[in-house]
């Protein structure tokens, strides 16, 4: 009798422990904010679409926001998130939205001066740098309230923003400038400029130790590399073996670039040929080694935390080990999902634990 009681107690404790362990099980999701290719609702409709990374990137749910419920949803311009504050932010052409990741409720909406473009947030979730809609300044915004803290004036058309991994610096790219300003996140002042590059800067990414920046520029099928220590452009890398031709969107041959998290490869988009080209980044200048054909024109690319998956804006999910397309994102209606505004969020014990970035920044040597 005593033995049966002990066995039953053990089974109960094991069941409780197993359930608790399952509660703590890591969940990895891809958040795609749509319409994320212009205002094209045929590519997944409108809302925040969530996909289960570990379940073949299957569609999980659609989170509606005031932006998605409008009669004609506007273009989504950028997305970022904070595990510290458990919030996700996105911009349209005119407004900045803040969503509570736990409740999935929109906490606030702010119409910022002169519109919004692709922004970035400090890791502590306290401060967002939001470029205007190609006007001549960035709005610096309180991540908790959405209130305007200050603004950073620039002489050119504000466009893309990348924060360094530890949050000390913001890199501010203007679409019409061949210099990349660097702002200090404590003073909110521009402290130096990198360049000149070959033309106006489009998408770009930065390595983990803040020594190099990889930039797409107008007119180039490929990318250029800047030395963040010396402030000089050091390499111009052109894609070989394909022709440069007209593109549907963005007006430049390569719009989209990212580093694999280990920084061993650079992946760059090719709009005309509907491809991404892969470069060996262990040598300088990086050497072209492979290409992957996609289902549509790519305009962006980023990577999963461990680097297993590459996510171009076409909704193709590329296995970086085989360089083959393993999955294709589709929504609850079976439509193709395309989006340039995507971010990975890892959940542990029912709460956001880690958030990725939309820019494919390098993470070499970073433990978390």
The domain limits of the chain are 28-355
Q: In what order do the strands lie in the sheet with 180-184?
A: 158-163, 169-174, 180-184, 189-194
Please state, in angstroms and as integers, the Cα–Cα distance from residue 24 to each residue in 14, 17, 136, 239, 352, following that order: 15, 11, 46, 45, 12
112-130 average pLDDT score: 98
Distance between CA atoms of residues 357 and 79, nearest Å: 8
Cis upstream peptide for 226 (omega within 30°) = no
φ, ψ of residue 4 in degrees (nearest 5):
-65, -40
Say if residue 24's pLDDT is above 50.
Answer: yes
- Contacts of residue 307, defined as CB under 8 A and 6 or more positions apart, other chains included, come to 260, 261, 262, 320
Q: Which residues pair with 238 in a beta bridge?
A: 222
Distance between CA atoms of residues 231 and 211, nearest Å: 10
Residue 368 — very low, low, confident or very high, per pLDDT cuts 50/70/90? confident
Instruction: Extract the tokens encoding 228.
Output: 């963040």
- Structural domain 28-355, CATH architecture: 7 Propeller (2.130)
- Would you say 209 and 165 are in contact if contact means Cβ atoms under 8 Å apart? no
Per-residue pLDDT tens digits for 169-199: 999 999 999 999 999 999 999 999 999 999 9
Give percent above pLDDT 90 in the chain: 92
Say if residue 310's pLDDT is above 80.
Answer: yes
Instruction: Determine the pLDDT at residue 22.
Output: 46
More confident residue, 276 or 8: 276
336-355 average pLDDT score: 98
- Would you say 339 and 43 are in contact if contact means Cβ atoms under 8 Å apart? yes
For 366, left (φ over 0), alpha (ψ -120 to 50), or beta? beta
Per-residue pLDDT tens digits for 129-151: 999 999 999 999 999 999 999 99
Flag the least confident range among 7-16, 31-40, 218-227, 327-336. Answer: 7-16
- Would you say 134 and 150 are in contact if contact means Cβ atoms under 8 Å apart? no
Instruction: Determine the pLDDT at residue 245.
Output: 97
Per-residue pLDDT tens digits for 257-303: 999 999 999 999 999 999 999 999 999 999 999 999 999 999 999 99
- Contacts of residue 118, defined as CB under 8 A and 6 or more positions apart, other chains included, come to 77, 78, 91, 131, 159, 160, 161, 341, 358
156-164 average pLDDT score: 97
Instruction: Determine the pLDDT at residue 80.
Output: 98
pTM, full prediction: 0.93
- Would you say 308 and 316 are in contact if contact means Cβ atoms under 8 Å apart? no
331-343 average pLDDT score: 98
Distance between CA atoms of residues 186 and 151, nearest Å: 13
Say if residue 20's pLDDT is above 80.
Answer: no
Per-chain mean pLDDT for the chain: 94
Residue 6 — very low, low, confident or very high, per pLDDT cuts 50/70/90? very low
More confident residue, 121 or 9: 121
Say if residue 3's pLDDT is above 90.
Answer: no
Instruction: Determine the pLDDT at residue 27.
Output: 98
Give percent above pLDDT 70 in the chain: 93
Instruction: Determine the pLDDT at residue 4.
Output: 53
Say if residue 19's pLDDT is above 50.
Answer: no
Say if residue 17's pLDDT is above 50.
Answer: no
């Amino acid at each position: 009798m005593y033995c049966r009681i002990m066995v039953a107690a053990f089974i109960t404790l094991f069941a409780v422990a197993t359930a608790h362990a399952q509660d703590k099980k890591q969940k990895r999701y891809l958040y795609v904010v749509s319409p994320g290719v212009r205002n094209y609702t045929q590519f997944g409709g409108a809302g925040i679409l969530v996909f289960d990374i570990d379940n073949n990137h299957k569609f999980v749910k659609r989170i509606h926001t005031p932006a998605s419920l409008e009669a004609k949803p506007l273009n989504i311009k950028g997305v970022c998130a904070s595990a510290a504050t458990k919030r996700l932010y996105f911009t349209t052409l005119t407004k900045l939205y803040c969503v509570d990741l736990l409740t999935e409720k929109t906490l606030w909406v702010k119409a910022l001066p002169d519109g919004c473009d692709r922004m970035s947030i400090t890791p502590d979730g306290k401060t967002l740098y939001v470029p205007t809609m190609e006007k001549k300044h960035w709005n610096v915004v309180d991540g908790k309230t959405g209130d305007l803290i200050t603004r950073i004036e620039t002489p050119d058309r504000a466009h893309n923003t990348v924060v360094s991994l530890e949050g000390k610096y913001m890199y501010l790219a203007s679409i019409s400038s061949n210099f990349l300003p660097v702002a200090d996140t404590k003073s909110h002042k521009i402290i130096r400029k990198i360049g000149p590059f070959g033309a106006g800067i489009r998408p770009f990414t930065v390595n983990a130790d803040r020594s190099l920046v990889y930039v797409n520029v107008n007119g180039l099928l490929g990318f250029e590399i800047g030395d963040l220590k010396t402030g000089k452009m050091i390499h111009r890398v052109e894609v070989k073996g394909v022709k440069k031709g007209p593109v549907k969107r963005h007006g430049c041959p390569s719009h989209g670039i990212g580093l694999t998290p280990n920084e061993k490869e650079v992946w760059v988009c090719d709009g005309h040929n509907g491809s991404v080209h892969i470069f060996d980044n262990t040598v300088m200048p990086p050497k072209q080694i492979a290409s992957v054909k996609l289902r549509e024109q790519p305009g962006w690319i980023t990577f999963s935390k461990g680097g297993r998956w590459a996510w171009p804006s076409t909704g193709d999910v590329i296995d970086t080990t085989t360089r083959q397309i393993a999955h294709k994102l589709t929504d609850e209606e079976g439509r193709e999902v395309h989006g340039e505004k995507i971010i990975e969020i890892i959940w542990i014990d029912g709460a956001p634990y880690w958030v990725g970035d939309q820019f494919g920044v390098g993470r070499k040597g970073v433990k978390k």
